Chains A and B, each alone.
Chain A
Amino acid sequence: MKRRTFSSLAAGLGLAASLMGTSAMAQDNMRIALVVKALGIGFFEAAAEGAQEAAAELGNVEIIYTGPTTTTAEGQIEVINSLIAQGVDAIAISANDPDAVVPALQRAMQRGITVISWDSGVAEEGRMMNLNPSSTELIGNTIIRLAADHMPEGGQVAILSATATSTNQNAWIAAAEAVLPDFPGIELVATVYGDDLSDKSYREAQGLMASFPDLQAIIAPTTVGILAACQAVSDAGKIGEINVTGLGLPSEMAGCVESGATKSFAIWNPIDLGYTATMIAHALATGAATAEPGAEIPTGRMGSVTLDDTTSAAMSDPFTYDASNIDQFKDIF
């Protein structure tokens, strides 16, 4: 009996402490760190813009936009450790490696920091929830459809990816291969890797044109690759014969769409992505929502997301850009 009284007392104290904690938090600015793969990438700069938009909407939220200068897991671990030392309230990370950052993120969670991953996910034990910009299946389907839309009679397509070990690209390519039977006449003849280097991607695109004279489309699900392929096709004088498509940013792709080397391409809206990640991090950090399978988390103007069994959620479908809307978006991101 005595013990029970003590435990309820302890529970009461704990509740009081947590209430005080919450009220103290409400007075101070909540600090949400947006950790990106590397600084200096247009996509992440745009995501940071969306995070600022969400912060302005929520009020009392400060966004710390940070990341390493090169896309390495080691660099991100250093950044995470410094964020733990600063005592931020939440970390939203796009990981360079799904596993290498887990121990650092677990330390953050042990210290009461809300941890979510977005864009490029972290293994389940290293985060509370993961926000995918879209689902892998939807992206795989979209990149094949982008090519197939302009090939009514079918033909050969090839994929120019980033590195052979990129988590994102490999998942999308696997999904694209899975939906190929839905596109009769479309034949995937090769998958090559440009390592996200302009010169290597350019050479790989040249190699594809040399090896497959009947090639009709190059699908590059990476921004460096799609630009290099577009330049290689233009330089080879094959605009109109080979359509370069895939995933790219409107500001970077405007020239390719204008020259006709690219008929259409897709990307989710990174502004929406940074916005949604911030909304979710805020909801979890304030306790307004909990990260558990089946939970529905409201995300402001983006509606809401529902967590699946692995506490992952998909934001929306990728959006297709072409000559009709490129001018509207090229100045945004």
Chain B
Amino acid sequence: MSDFSVIAASKTQKWVAGILVVAYAVITLLPLLWIIATGFKSPSDAIAYPPKVLFEPTLEGYVNLFTTRTRQTAEYLAAHPPQTWYEEIVRKYDMVIAGPSRFGGRFMNSVIIGFVSTFLSVFLGTLAAYAFSRFRIPLKDDLMFFILSTRMMPPIAVAIPIFLMFRALGLSDTHAGMILLYTAVNLSLAVWLLKGFIDEIPREYEEAALIDGYTRFQAFYKVVLPQAATGIASTAIFCLIFAWNEYAFAVLLTSGTAQTAPPFIPTIIGVGGQDWPAVAAGATIFLLPVVVFTILLRKHLLRGITFGAVRK
């Protein structure tokens, strides 16, 4: 690049761009860092004003998140010395651990419902998108529009009919019900995204495979799927993020067995009110699966989120 290039950025421009990117990242990440930090604070540090940037880290929040505790008399505490590091932590408040909290179960519910509905959305979406992309389907455009139209209102607008239907069908507070709901909501997005990706794969690949001796399904499986991997991965991330973070329907339709983590975390109560470190610890742990999933699929994501705007 010469110093006089029209397209290459100058040094100053690169610096300005760099500073803007860093500033944006800090603004975006600050709440996240705050949550992570709060998870390691003691309850009094968490609500201190002015807020403490430097504090003595403790695992109290995490212990409280995973356990239920009861207050005991001094005699009892003296007779039963703490056996583990986490029992030691709760002794500060004259408490003993009574058992595990419900967080683990709620978290597993999120994992099951989130991943199963993501798998179903992507699986069904890929099949539908392939059919829409490759076959002559009567009223194809109308059907595609109909599929899209299910996204045109906020899902919560249909909360009451869905609530009534779920109650009538016995789906309220069941894993199957939540998986069904999230799959239904995500499927339209999945079909549209994936159709775009599959449209981009030249048909000749499959036709070559058909002539080389494969059936239509084998051609799809062995030739189209590997090439649609990028699209499938980014679609899966979008679906998982929606299902994972969904709050409104989860509050409305679940209360016990199938309750996911989002409606559960804010209800964690500690001594004398909201236990902010435990809530923050819950939020931090809740973040992890999506972060891991996204990192695993990240090499597909960059091309994925440009929606095929960049040609290979």
To the question of whether A and B form a pair in one complex, the answer is no
